[in-house]
Structure 1
Amino acid sequence: MKRYLSFLLLLLAFGAQAQFQQGAPGSGTAPAGASVAQGTGRISGIIVDSTAGKAVEFASVAIYNKATGKPVDGTSADDKGKFALSKVPAGSYKMLISFLGFQTKTIDNLEVADGKSLDLGTVKLVSTAKTLEEVTVTGQKALIEEKVDRLVYNADKDIAAKGGDASDILRKVPMLTVDLDGNVSLRGSSNIRVLINNKPSTIVASSVADALKQIPADQIQTVEVITSPSAKYDAEGSGGIINIITKKNSLQGLNLNVDTGAGNRGAMLGLNGNYRKGKMGISLGGFGRANYNTPTKSSLEQTSLVNGNTIKTSQTGTGNSNGMFGRYNLGFDYDISKNQSLTAGVRYGLRNMNQTQDYLTQIYTNAVAGSASNRNVDTKNHSNTIDANVDYLRTFKPQQEWSISTLYSRNDLTNNFDANILESGSLAGRQRNLNGNVNQEFTLQTDYQTPIKKNQMIEFGAKGILRKVNSDYQYLVAGPTGGYSPQENNPSGTLDYNQNIAAAYTAYTYTTANKYTLKAGLRYEYTTISATANHTEINIPNYGNLVPSINLSKQLKGATLKLAYNRRIQRPGIQQLNPNFNTANPQNISMGNPYLNPELTDNVELGLSKNIGKTFFNVAFFGRFTDNLITQVRTPIDTLAGSILTTYQNIGSEHAFGTNIFANIALTPKISWNLFSNILHTTLQGKTTGVDGTSIDAKNSGVNVDFGSMLSAQLKNGWGIQGFGMMRGPQVQLQGRMGGFGFYSVGVRKDLANKKGSIGIAAENFLTSNIRIHTELTSPQFTQVSNMYMYNRGIRLTFTYKIGKMSMEPSRKKTKSVNNDDVKEGGDQNQQQQGGQQSGGGRSR
């Protein structure tokens, strides 16, 4: 650890030295080879973004002699976009204005006379991002932005968002698929990392689906889908990274937003306040959501071969669930100077999920029926999370900056159940599982970037993560009356898991005159692990990984062509590691595996984005090759008749090839139509462990398909309407296929006078009472057919109102923050639990 801290301190010292050597930030700097200006003329102006109308901070300005073409003088704009060149000799000049992310602006035929001032007024720079706004010629915000390493989906125009959560937005983002439980996959892979405002959270590491339920949909500004992360990001996620950016306030004054909604399945209330005066800003907000009236129904038919006996299980289940979700935040930011900023924040998340399930089970041994059993289960799945960060950013000159970021995150989870076993209608016994988990992280990160000449950028940085996971579980039994006591063949236990990561990276960006952009990087991560299970040491070796990434893009006429390669690492998460033996449903038991190793994935991608008339078109072809794949494996249990154990193993490899197609058609300036489709062929193969401990070859392959459409219209007098629908086909698993499903929604919204608020109505899946998910699993030792019925037909009314008076201020430099994105999401997106729980604090199904 001393070596890691020494490296970080060395980098901090470098940043301080760079600051000392640079001198006063924002001072004018002549271009290389420029002659020293000795005249008395003056040129001035203000540089702004042509779309947003906001100042472009620290843009570079240079003038060239018209006759010789040689540079004469140069400077950079200040934080308000203003620039001035003094002591300019009389003559004719050409001016070039440039900044990363904008097209270079050329102003020709500038005539300067001695002692005279030439005021150019407002100079507008055009963004280089290819957006739909360029072809629709409308004032509405662009839906899609295509960048060298990511696709940006602007979500703040979603009419149906009020009263929903982040999963409702992510369903509409190209390349993403979200199931009815909120599990997210990118190009068919659930091995992704989700960031919130570029920051991780321990609740996301525990369950992405649960984290998404805590984020109100109408507070999301954009969703970034990073399919080929650069070396700057942690080397996590074979599928990629999803970064959810929430709405921020850059206004002066005080305001308060009130959002509320209620429906037959849930209700919500949100309050968000912002205060900004001069250099200081404070934000305080809270969001609460209740889910209720959500019945569930399931059926299970499975046959297993154990010790020469054929055991058949038939089970039906009915139940109900309710939940409370909350997210509260306090934020502070302060501009120390025009080139230095400090940001701090504290966020608290709350999730309380309660579920009741009644199971009726009949077991047949060699076609002979045993006695039927009835089991009533109450499940409590609760968690609370706190994240605290302090971030500092120092800008030296345009695009040259140094940042240091810290983050502390803690998640306390409780995953318990109580079960009553009934025989002939009478209480025969009781069972209880108590499982508490604590997941803590501390992160220190520093980053530095600087331009090299006009068209190159270099970045490097270092990061340290100290991660500690603890799990304490007990399995208790009791008779119809009396106290609980431990069960000998299923004892209590503990897991203590410490993981430390030291990382360093460098990245290089180069843009050529003929519109090629190359972004290449190299990252090295070294991981040390110490773990004990039931106070017995687990031997997990330390490991180091070298992770390269290359992104190449070419700007064509109205099109962008991209080619990318990267390598990723996927570490197991707490839900895969936790050895708690979860028997909420004894026919479908779950358990983690603390001996898991990380998986490694190589990704290649070829993509094309093009404007064809009024249509924005994006298509990508990709391949994904994973070794040491972490996946769920199901095995019969020889000591418990008719039971299947679901756990995690490093089974072997996965090869996946696919394509994503997305199109946005601007039917009119006010009406747009989106179409998307994802097609993926995947092959999984490896070895699993049978009921008798023998090794079994396993292989499965097939095609996964999903497609959908969204129609949005902005009508007169503040009215808007939106419709969305998607279908997801069966998903390939190692031991079978999980059934598909459909989802659709309609929303209508009316803006109030002066857009101070809005009222709306939204409905989902209103034509059917439930959705059935049919799953078939097979192996040489068992077959399982299950159906899960989701009752999610819903309708809700929403209302939002803004209180307070605000005035615009120029955009501020964003402070960098910590991004931890190196842990595999706990739940398998393809998992089908029959009313039980995922191990280690996962949510109920």
Structure 2
Amino acid sequence: MRLLLILICVAPVFSQKNLVYKGIIKDANTQENIPHATVVIYNSTNLIDGVSTNDDGEFQLKNNKNATHIEVSFIGYKTYMLSISKISDFNAIVINLQPDNELEEVVIQAKKNTTQLKIDRKTINLGADLQQSGNTALEAFDQIPEIQTDLGTGTISLRGGGNVRVLVNGKPSPLNTTELLQQIAASSVDKIEIIASPSSKNQADGISGIIDIILKKNTNYGLNLTLNSSVGTKRHQYGFDANYNLSSVNIRLNASNSRRSMNSKQWIYQEYTNGNTRDFFAPHNFNGKINNISLGIDFFLNESNELSFQVDYTDDSHSFHNNTFYSNVTGRPDYMYTRNSSHMHKTTVYNANYRKKFTSKGHYLELDYNLTNNENILPASDIEEGIFLFDELQNNRNDLHALAFDYTLPINKMTLEAGFSWNYRKLRSFREFTPNASNATQDAFDYKENLIGIYGLTRFETGSFNWQTGIRYEHFTSDSNNTANNQASDLRFLNLFPSVHVSYTSNDKNTFNIGYSRRISRPNFRHINPFQVGNQYFQWNSNPSLQPEFADNFELNYQYNGKRINISASTFYRYRTDVIQWLETIDANGVHFINFDNIGQRNSFGIENTIQYKITSYWNSELSANYYYTKANQPDITWNNLYSSNIILKSTFKITKNISTDITFRHTPRNQSVYSITEPRNRIDFAIRASFLDNKLTTNFRIVDVLDANLRRRTIVLPGIIQNETWKFQSQTFAWMLSLNYRIFQNKGKIRSRKSRNYNYGGTTD
């Protein structure tokens, strides 16, 4: 009898063993996997647990309680209910969701940015962040805590380092980072990939890592049209995005036109150790326009073969006018110096992509070719006290070829990946200099660069650990010739780059990543080209004798995703050798010169933390705090202890069902670089959004720097001189945006299963 009672008591305990439910969610019509669908397990009407499907539409649930059914839901689909008693294999559950044809088709974006921590990168889905709507990619970056952005200079950095490779859909651009980010509208960006410790699949250039901008590529069914326009402080923009999906063919077309003006003021005070002084006041006037058109076509030949072509054309022109007023100049009276200049970019990008999918999941090969033609024309005229000094004309023609082949083979729980890439750059810089009452001189700089890369990568699982290991071989060559001084260069580098990444997931809420990668910064055309854009108080000098700089990057990341709180934390260590350092000097005429040289080593440490907390159903808050420190063991610099940090506090309020508002406070503490100290700064931004017509029509209003107090004050200390600067750029801006999304009709025919066309392979050298 006693034994019977024990068995009766123990039986329920054993009946509540952990069951694991594994499965995949698909579109019933297309059989395409559905990422981020909600999967919830119930006991009658009581919710037990729930998860979201991953990027491949897969889910896994653990349960030790009695359950009656699973419920699956996703926007635009009918909710599906599956009884537990009807599941034959708990490790191979397949659920097909039916599209809800009664719902009116609209484009729906996430309410806030979401961050996914992957094994070798962070993916930030921009969603519909109120502070980013209607602005450029540069201004969108300014709202991402992991990217340090200076809106005044247009520079960006990762983890306190400025050597960052910026790609668009995995492809390079011939433009510098500032010009590229100002060309891209934030509304056209789908997500940002921050790859601070890249794997061997990515090309090895970029000491601080890679930022890859993934643009939206519309493949929605039927005929879709999105209209958008914005107007703000000395700026306006309008454009459209459309596609026509015929199941086997998808045609994409978008175009935009934007205009922007900006005024800024700069005060500079120079004091030499010999007692000489020089002050100048430099107001800058900028006017620019950007016209862009893009046409793409996707062919879904059959279930296994896909082919895409795309052509993009951008005409970006802007002009500068500044009068510099010199005063307190030792040995001469006050005077005014005028420079009138302009910059005209014309860029055409051609892309072809082929993908072959095999029968097993994740087994494919891909071939991608990208050709970029770019021409830059930069005329300038300099005048002093009304007397013409000289005309200068620079013309840069830049051709980039990028070919990549990738093959992925899954074997049980292991995936093997290998690839080849070839990148070629041809640059011709031409300069004509015409001084007053003298004959013109003409010089040319020719540059050719080849980079061949081969990589192998392995991904596998051991329990709760995911591993990714790889190695990359790169063969780099470059040749240049400068007719101005008959100087030539011939560089050859052969290098290996290993990488190791490990991810540990204890449950669906906690993820840990650790990674190592070796990176390089090779001397390229920006270091070697003597014809760099400068002005009367800022000049560049080239150095064709540079050697590569190397870095070993280590990182540790953690992410927690809860119902009301999300936490992201990172720490890193970076060791750099043969650092390619900017060496700064200011001569007796007050001209600031930048030279490049390999000097010394650096040890960098840093932490990044972000906490998102849902205070109430209508109030979301976010706090981000980052700190970076570098110990520089280098000669010929002013400070060897370098530091920077930033703090961002964001609150988003849902006032009504259709109206939301955002208030963001940013504090940038004092930071110290190798030659300068920048004083603390504060900024408050405000944005409000309203939606109408069932979210088809949205309007945004945004104010950047509400208090108009974001001055930059900097002190530069160089041998023989101290320079104090105050820079008031056009920080405060007002912007209003109107956007209309409309589905004209839906294709009712059979739609093929297809993979996202956003293919990236790491780009070319920059």
Does structure 1 residue 241 correspond to structure 2 residue 181? no
Partner of 2:315: 350
Query: Could you tell me which residue of structure 1 aligns to residue 4 of structure 2?
Result: none
- Mean alpha-carbon deviation: is it higher for 351-360 or for 588-597? 588-597
- 2:569 corresponds in structure 1 to 619
Tell me how far apart the structure 1 counterparts of residues 24 and 87 of structure 2 sit (CA, whole Å).
Answer: 23
Give, in whole Å, the separation in 1 of the partners of 2:532 and 2:186.
35
Alpha-carbon distance between aligned partners in 2 of 1:645 and 1:98, rounded to the nearest angstrom: 51
Letter in 2 for 1:634: E
Contact 1:251/1:806, CA 8 A, preserved across alignment: no
Matches within 5 A, 1:136-285: 143-180=114-151, 181-203=153-175, 207-285=176-254
Asked if 1:300 is matched to 2:268, the reply is yes
| Structure 1 counterpart of 2:418 | 460
Counterparts in 2 of 1:179 and 1:636: CA distance versus 1, 3 Å: closer
Compute the displacement of 1:278 (Å).
Answer: 1.6
Correspondence 1:447 to 2:415: no
Instruction: Supply the distance in 2 between the matched residues of 1:473 and 1:654 (Cα, whole angstroms).
Output: 37
Contact 1:392-1:815 within 8 A present in 2 as well: no
Q: 1:377 to 1:596 in 2, by over 3 A?
A: same
In structure 2, C-alpha distance between the alignment counterparts of 1:537 and 1:584, rounded to whole Å = 24
Once residues 148 and 236 of structure 2 are traced to their aligned partners in structure 1, the CA distance between those partners, rounded to angstroms, is: 25
Backbone CA RMSD of aligned residues:
3.0
Of 280-289 and 370-379, the range deviating more from structure 2: 370-379
2:459 to 509, 521, 531: 509
For residue 694 of structure 2, give the secondary structure of its aligned residue in structure 1: helix
Deviation per residue, 1:550-606 (Å, 9 max, x gap)? 111111243111111101112345443321265622x33333434433321110011
- Preserved CA contact (<8 Å) 1:392 1:816: no
* Counterpart position of 1:17: none
1:552 correspondence with 2:492: no
Displacement of 1:58 in angstroms is 8.4
Q: 1:253 to 1:139 in 2, by over 3 A?
A: closer
Q: Any idea what the Cα deviations from partners look like across 1:615-670, whole Å, max 9, x if unmatched? A: 11111110111122223221244xx6333322333333222111001111122344
Corresponding residue for residue 703 of structure 2: 763
Q: Following the alignment from structure 1 to structure 2, what is the Cα–Cα distance between the partners of residues 511 and 57?
A: 25
Q: Determine if contact 1:700/1:735 at 8 Å carries over to the other structure.
A: no
Deviation (angstroms), 1:165:
1.0
Q: Report the Cα offset of residue 311 of structure 1.
A: 3.8
Counterparts of residues 491-502 of structure 1 (less than 5 Å): 492-502=442-452
The Cα of 1:166 is off from its aligned counterpart by 0.9
Deviation at 1:267, TM superposition (A): 0.6
Tell me which amino acid in the other structure corresponds to 1:471. Answer: S
Q: Deviations over 1:259-311 (max 9, x none)?
A: 0111222111111111111210111111222112x222111122346xxx654
After TM superposition, give the deviation of residue 142 of structure 1 in Å. Answer: 6.9
Alignment check: 8 A CA contact 1:443 1:463 kept: yes
Whether the 8 Å CA contact 2:456–2:472 is kept in 1: the answer is: yes
Matches of 1:108 and 1:818, distance apart in 2: 41
Alpha-carbon separation, structure 1, partners of 2:715 and 2:566: 39
Amino acid at match of 1:794: T
CA distance in 2, matches of 1:431, 1:600: 41
Is residue 366–residue 406 contact of structure 2 (8 Å, CA) maintained in 1?
yes
Q: Deviations over 1:368-394 (max 9, x none)?
A: x32322111112122121111100000
Q: Which moved more, 1:608-617 or 1:800-809?
A: 800-809
Answer yes or no: is 1:469 the counterpart of 2:427. yes
Percentage of matched positions with identical amino acids: 21
**Residue type at the aligned position of 1:606:** L
Flag the structure with more relative contact order, 1 or 2, with Cα contacts below 8 A and sequence separation at least 6: 1
What is the DSSP-based 3-state SS (H/G/I as helix, E as strand, rest coil) of the residue aligned with 1:235?
A: coil
Correspondent of 1:781 among 690, 703, 720: 720
Q: Name the aligned partner's letter for residue 540 of structure 2.
A: S
Amino acid at match of 1:190: G
Does residue 102 (structure 1) correspond to residue 35 (structure 2)? The answer is no
1:648-701 alpha-carbon deviations (Å, 9 max, x no partner): 3333322211100111112234432111111001123434xxxxxxxx466521
The equivalent position to 1:645 in structure 2, one of 593, 614, 623, is 593
In structure 2, what is the Cα distance between the partners aligned to 1:98 and 1:780? Answer: 56
- Alpha-carbon distance in structure 2 between the residues aligned to 1:383 and 1:394: 36
**Residue of structure 2 in register with 1:379 after alignment:** 341
* Contact 1:237/1:821, CA 8 A, preserved across alignment: no
Describe the shift of the 1:533–1:740 C-alpha distance in structure 2 as closer, same or farther (beyond 3 A): farther
* Amino acid across the alignment from 1:312: T
Counterpart CA distance in 1 for 2:686 and 2:238 is 21
Question: In structure 1, what is the Cα distance between the partners aligned to 2:571 and 2:644?
Answer: 15
Alpha-carbon distance change, 714 to 279 in structure 1, aligned in 2, over 3 angstroms: farther
Which structure 2 residues correspond to residues 330-345 of structure 1 after superposition, within 5 A?
330-345=295-310
Distance 1:121 1:579, change over 3 A: closer
Given candidates 530, 541, 546, the residue that maps to 1:579 is 530
Report the residue type matching 1:456 in the other structure: M
| 3-state SS, counterpart of residue 180 of structure 2 | helix
1:402-481 → structure 2 map (5 Å cutoff): 402-422=365-385, 427-453=386-412, 455-478=413-436
Letter in structure 2 aligned against 1:404? L
Deviation track 1:15-55 (CA, whole Å, cap 9, x = no partner) reads xxxxxxxxxxxxxxxxxxxxxxxxxxxxxxx97538x9996
Decide which of 663, 676, 690 is 1:750's aligned counterpart: 690
Task: Supply the distance in 2 between the matched residues of 1:659 and 1:554 (Cα, whole angstroms).
Answer: 20
Contact 1:633 1:735 survives alignment (8 Å):
no
Bigger drift between 758-767 and 493-502 goes to: 758-767
Return the alpha-carbon distance in structure 2 between the equivalents of residues 214 and 191 of structure 1. Answer: 21
Q: Answer with 649-658 or 187-196: which moved more.
A: 649-658
| TM-score, scaled to structure 1 | 0.76
Asked if the contact 2:660/2:690 (under 8 Å) is kept, the reply is yes
The one-letter code matched in structure 2 to 1:316 is F
Letter in 1 for 2:249: M
Q: Which 10-residue stretch deviates more, 535-544 or 229-238? A: 535-544
SS in 1 for 2:746: strand
**Which amino acid counterpart does residue 522 of structure 1 have in structure 2?**
I
- Tell me if structure 1 keeps the 8 A contact 2:643–2:673: no
Q: Of 620, 632, 647, which aligns to 2:582?
A: 632
Query: Aligned partners of 1:512 and 1:676: how far apart in 2?
Result: 33
Stretches of structure 2 lacking an aligned partner (at least 5 in a row): 1-21, 35-52, 63-82, 98-108
SS of match in other structure, 2:127: coil
* SS of structure 1 residue aligned to 2:128: coil
Residues 1:375 and 1:218: Cα distance change in structure 2 (over 3 Å): same
Task: After superposition, give the CA deviation of every residue in 1:520-573 in whole Å (9 maximum; x if it has no partner).
Answer: 110010101111111735233301111111111111243111111101112345
- Aligned runs of 1:675-690 on 2, under 5 Å? 675-687=623-635
1:667 and 2:615 aligned = yes
Change (3 A) 1:583 1:348: closer
Pick closer, same or farther for the CA change 1:668–1:224 going to 2, 3 Å: farther
1 CA distance for matches of 2:25 and 2:128? 21
What SS does the aligned partner of 2:711 have? strand
Residue identity matched to 1:374: M
Shift of 1:110: 7.1
Match of 2:354 in 1: 392
